[in-house]
A and B are shown apart, each in its own frame.
Chain A
Amino acid sequence: MTISTSMSRRIAISILMLAMALTSQAQMKMFRMEKDSIPFFRGFSVSFDLVGPAMRLLSDHGEYEGALRVNLHDQWFPIFEAGIGKANHENDEVTGITYKTTAPYFRIGMDWNVLKNKHQSNRLYAGFRYAFTSYKVDIIREALPDPVWQSESGFGVEGMGCSMHWAEIVFGIDAKVFGPLHLGWNVRYKRRIAHNDGDLDTTWYVPGFGTNDSDNLAANFNVIIDI
């Protein structure tokens, strides 16, 4: 009975250790460099987004955004993104509210090429970002009539200082067109980490994040040039 229990325990421990080894092996696979003759440092690429300017053109807010990405062995891609977010919503036809802001934002993070053959010209990415913006906003509502006392009670907050920190999970593709030119798109899930919304306790458009909420979904279409 004792021998049987001891053996069962040993088998259980062995299975557990095997499972742990397999799990950690799978986790390490993403971070482990493939052994081949390709050098570790593979160069830089710069990119700019086309969705943000299109949004700015077609609506009252949008972004102009560029990125610098390092290629490490076609597997890891540390990335720095910077942009300028702009909103100019003047005298809303229903609410009469004017909202203006223009401010830079910054993101830093890393993409992983999740394709099995990492050295081909097309890539499939998964990545993360940490992002930050500090912005000033004008929120103006002129001539807000008090319905009972019938006095004019408009307000205007100009240069209200705000800030936001957020994290992003990114999935995207990148396809080589010709020479150093690539085109790619990505979708981003943005999650607010911390925010200061100034004296009014809330804002509408946050540069780089989009409309102010606890989370947001966005997409970019990038023109990428290897340098």
Chain B
Amino acid sequence: MRKVAIFLIVVTLAACTTIDCPVQNLVYTNYALKKAGGSADTLNTDTLWILTRRADGTDTLLLNGLCGTTATKFSLPISYTQPEDVFITLLADTAGCSYIDTIRIKKENYPHFESVDCQASYFHKVTAASTTHNAFDSITIHHSSVNYDVSNDHFYLYVKKNRH
């Protein structure tokens, strides 16, 4: 009886399986606001909205009214398979002026598989980034690999100071 119990315990333990899916399984991009000298910038009294256009042609708001002296960075999603993501930005100041800019992110998309137990996703390599220079002076790629590691800033965004 004791041997049977030991055998059953061993078989039960051997039958256990583990699922090793990553805990952080979101893929998104981080944008850091920078001054020309490379130090962190902030929106101060300006307010920023960002939206994009879905596959069906409707708009969706991705960033809703970011503002204040602590607004030094933000995150945006990245599409699974589009070759280029287009973000429409609206920057408003306290004088009542609004500046519309368009950020374009070109990228390569790679399907990512961990296991049949883990959700499939896409990783990306950013190849180019641009703005239309209305609200932002420029955008630079700081970290081109976009994956589950979201500890890095992927883009540096330079806010235009002398807007007309």
Contacts and interface: CB of A to CB of B under 8 A. Distances in A.
Nearest to A91: B116
Interface in B45-90: 52, 54-56, 60, 62, 77, 79-82
Contacts of B114: 202
Question: Which secondary structure dominates chain A's binding surface?
Answer: loop
A155 to B, nearest CB: 4
Question: Which secondary structure dominates chain B's binding surface?
Answer: loop
Given A139-B113, A146-B80, A157-B111, A151 B120 contact: no
Contact of A95 (B62, B79, B80, B118): B118
Nearest to A137: B113
Nearest to A92: B116
Interface of B: 14, 52, 54-56, 60, 62, 77, 79-82, 111-120, 122
Given A139-B113, A202-B114, A151 B119 contact: no
Interface of A: 89, 92, 94-97, 99, 139, 141, 144, 146-151, 153, 155, 157, 200-204, 211, 219
Contacts of B60: 148
A200 B112 contact: yes
B81 A148 contact: no
A202 B56 CA distance: 34
Contacts of B111: 141, 155, 157, 200
Contacts of B62: 148
Given A95-B120, A141-B120, A219-B14, A151 B79 contact: yes
B113 A150 contact: no
Given A148-B54, A150-B54, A99 B116 contact: yes
